[in-house]
Amino acid sequence: MRRRTFLGGAALAAASAALLPLPSATAATTTTVTSLDALQKAIDKALPGDRIVVADGTYTVPAGKAVTVSGRNGTSAAPITIVSQSRGGAVLKGERSFVLGNSSHVTLSGFTLRQSVTLEVPATCTGIRLTRNTLEFADDTDLDWVVVRGDDTKVDRNRFRSKTTAGCYLVADGPGSTAMAQRLQVLRNHFSDHSYSGGNGGEPIRLGVSSRALSSAHGVVEYNLFERCDGDPEAISVKSSDNTVRYNTIRDSVGGIVLRHGNRTTVEGNHLLGGVNGLRLYGNDHVVANNYLYALTGRALVIGSGSTRDHHAGETADERRGNDACDRTLIVHNTLLNNRTTLSGDSGTDRPHLPQDVSVADNLLVAQSGGLVQAGLGAGVTWRSNLLWGAALPGDIPSSGYTRADPLLRLESDGVHRLSPGSPAIGAASSGLGSVTQDLDGHARGAARDTGADQYSVQAPLRRPLTAADVGPNAA
């Protein structure tokens, strides 16, 4: 006899419900607004995936007020997006534009921002993205235009331009007095026309500050273009630890790339062309590889001495502001060509601690006057398989650390000098530095490594010096 099973009312209802489709999540909406009031109302009710389009036009935010983004939380897959109808078409003027707080995964895109106070990403926010905006703030002294304190912020494809006073275009900071915002991405931005002549305090990018030097930031600054950035000797100023600065182009600028404070930063594949300052290194355990420094009128590469051997917890503020000697740093596969001062140190009575355990290997140094290596770096620097050429004297480099031969460079259409067939640089590197797997152009190094930033190849470069078409609001 077959046993029959009967379901009671509650059980039957549950079984039937299991067969029905689940209700869908609230669909994301697109809302177009034509006033600041309407914009604020749309923001206040925005949910993950919502898109708020601001019609083209000029909007003046009243004094003492702002467009507030508070308590709005998108997701990484479905951010809340606030976007100009056309790139640059919605212009926000007044004291403030957007004020962020307690929010996550919010994107601000395509605006022209003309405000007179700092745009801040506070520590209470995560996953904020500023993209395809044009920033031309009021030209007030000491105004930092964008300050990032929140983790996982992305600043990409923006245009920062036209500043004549002190203050930075972009600052990475953090909560409290010593921590750093984590994992900041600075990608494909165009920084230009900072004409402040005060000599200090006008960096386009500053990653940290002396009190935060020992804090890891894990920031990445890549594929940015700097033109006529003359507000400071430092175009990219690194004052924190564990950052990456790669594939940037600095043209016709006073500023260079300076590891001013902090440890364990990688500087790779950057083009510094026709300006004044190159690379200046302090702190420990850096990797400096595949950089191309050409026709600089100042110092191309400085391996810094220190007022202290190592920064450490418990220093006074004055001690922390001093220079930390450059120790345990690898400087490999760089090309320094026709610069006024090629490679030097900066020791003196105020910086008595010479660099230690620095390896300078497989670099190409070419100049027509002066000395290629200057200012007695001492026994703490070792030299291996470098190639020197030009009328400039070798200078303070041991004969065991280099060979002298014409590298047979050819000038190509993008303004970069690369190796010609038969160059003595081909296959001449020491080949014991497997961590550098690509060259300046993005080509594989392989087993037989060439001296300098360029690995000879018949293939077209995968990376070239950046132009205005590669960065900013209209970049791919």
pTM equals 0.94
pLDDT of 140: 86
Identity of residue 168: C
Q: What is the pLDDT of residues 25-35, one digit of tens each?
A: 568 999 999 99
> What does DSSP assign to residue 369?
S
Position 3 confidence tier, pLDDT thresholds 50, 70, 90: very low
pLDDT of 139: 92
407 pLDDT exceeds 70?
Answer: yes
How far, in Å, are 44, 73, 369 from residue 127 at the CA level?
A: 18, 10, 50
pLDDT of 25: 54
State the Cα–Cα distance between residues 204 and 213, nearest whole angstrom.
Answer: 18
Q: What is the pLDDT of residues 80-130, one digit of tens each?
A: 999 999 999 999 999 999 999 999 999 999 999 999 999 999 999 999 999
71 pLDDT exceeds 80?
Answer: yes
Position 336 confidence tier, pLDDT thresholds 50, 70, 90: very high
Span 447-474, average pLDDT? 97
259 pLDDT exceeds 70?
Answer: yes
pLDDT of 327: 97
Q: What is the pLDDT of residues 14-24, one digit of tens each?
A: 444 444 444 44
Closest CA to 184 of 170, 168, 194, 203: 170
pLDDT of 345: 94
Encoding tokens for residue 443?
A: 């080509």
Position 419 confidence tier, pLDDT thresholds 50, 70, 90: very high
State the Cα–Cα distance between residues 217 and 207, nearest whole angstrom.
Answer: 8
283 pLDDT exceeds 80?
Answer: yes
Say if residues 236 and 257 touch (Cβ distance below 8 Å). Answer: yes
Closest CA to 69 of 44, 48, 52, 94: 44
434 pLDDT exceeds 90?
Answer: no
Taking CB atoms within 8 Å and a gap of at least 24, the contacts of 264-267 are 264/216, 265/238, 265/241, 267/291
CATH number of 157-470: 1.10.10.10, 2.160.20.10, 1.10.3720.10, 3.30.1490.20? 2.160.20.10
Span 348-361, average pLDDT? 93
State the Cα–Cα distance between residues 101 and 67, nearest whole angstrom.
Answer: 11
The count of C-alpha atoms lying within 13 angstroms of the C-alpha of 106, restricted to the half-sphere facing its C-beta, is 26
Span 236-242, average pLDDT? 98
